[in-house]
Amino acid sequence: MTDGDTLNRFLFEHTRVRGELVHLDATWRAVLERHAYPPRVRELLGEAMVAAVLLSTIIKFDGSLTLQLTGEGALSMLVVQATSRRTVRGLAHWHEPLPEAGGLGELTGNARLAITIDPGQGMDRYQGIVALEGEPDLSAALAAYFSQSEQLDTRLWLAAGPERAAGMLLQRLPGTDEDPDVWPRTVQLADTITDPELLRLGHREILHRLFHEEDVRFFESEPVSFRCSCSRERIEHMLRGLGYDEVQSILEEQGGVEVTCEFCNQRYHFDAVDAERLFASADQPDVPPTRH
């Protein structure tokens, strides 16, 4: 088993078709260590994390891509965030009973898929939303999303197990290829990959297995890791947003303010002294710098 926690880009020379491969090992296990997900939820979350990493290559600058599923079924919410620095985090909310069989629709109910791109550096965010209408799995849902929202032919192959999650993306960029059959041919070849092969084989092995008769350029690997963007400073900003009276009410009732990040289970505790300091610093007027 090779290529753990790495992303590789590749392209088909002299065509408008590009691709990516990713394997998540320690990154995926880091998510599973923080929450005990049932098998069906775990599989979908792993696929979503792989998909978000694959799609994150479209982000410019120091930004992020968030993939979110919300529905009325047993799986009520799933959210994954990947960044241009190749970090990823994710979580899912569900309730029992979970359906024993069926596709994505049976698990999520009347759901929608949203992809939000934040390019960073103060630039405007972009969000695309589509309703899930009978797609059997996440790969099909994402293909429908790109067809409707981006008008780009995009296909993904996703797999997730208890120890590893993996995926491949093919995308046809705008423009005309000299060979009109290159896109259907590459998709047809890619469709022969199995989940066990996707999880077990290395990136170069997968490309050779699928496209050994094609002229493929393979790029250097990029490391991928689990990382949460929560911090005490972010929590302090959130508490300031609640207001002094609300925070004091929580302190009187509970003796402290305890905030737990859902992504990483990191706990942040604030006592009465912390709260007074927090709002005292928020009320301090800005002092212009002194020049000497």
Cα angle vertex 221, ends 217, 226, to 5°? 145
- Judge whether 50 and 166 are in contact, CB under 8 Å: yes
Helices (H), 58-161: 104-108, 138-145
Asked if 267 and 164 sit in the same domain, the reply is no
Span 92-147, pLDDT tens digits = 999 999 988 888 989 998 899 999 999 887 788 889 999 988 889 999 999 999 98
Decide if 288 is inside a domain: no
Q: How confident is the model at residue 158 (pLDDT cuts 50, 70, 90)?
A: very high
pTM: 0.83
| pLDDT confidence of residue 2 | 62
Span 8-35, pLDDT tens digits = 999 999 999 999 999 999 999 999 998 8
| pLDDT confidence of residue 238 | 82
**Which residue, of 203, 226, 249, is where some domain finishes?**
226
Q: How far is the C-alpha of 264 from the C-alpha of 258, rounded, in Å?
A: 15
Average pLDDT, the chain: 88
Asked if 100 and 82 sit in the same domain, the reply is yes
Asked if 22 and 51 sit in the same domain, the reply is yes
Q: What is the CATH number of the domain that holds 271?
A: 3.90.1280.10
Asked if 239 and 157 sit in the same domain, the reply is no
> Integer distance in angstroms from the first to the last C-alpha of the chain?
62
E strand intervals along 13-133: 17-24, 64-70, 75-83, 87-94, 112-118, 126-131
Q: How confident is the model at residue 286 (pLDDT cuts 50, 70, 90)?
A: very low
Asked if 95 and 239 sit in the same domain, the reply is no
- Tell me which residue range forms the domain holding 271: 232-283
| pLDDT confidence of residue 227 | 85
Decide if 1 is inside a domain: no
Asked if 246 and 218 sit in the same domain, the reply is no
> According to the per-residue pLDDT averaged within each range, which of 44-58, 60-74, 277-291 is highest?
44-58
Residue 290 has pLDDT above 50, yes or no: no
| pLDDT confidence of residue 67 | 95
Span 214-265, pLDDT tens digits = 999 999 999 999 988 777 888 888 888 888 888 888 888 888 888 788 888 7
State the total domains in the chain: 2
Residue 279 has pLDDT above 60, yes or no: yes
Question: What would the mean pLDDT of 174-184 be, rounded to a whole number?
Answer: 88
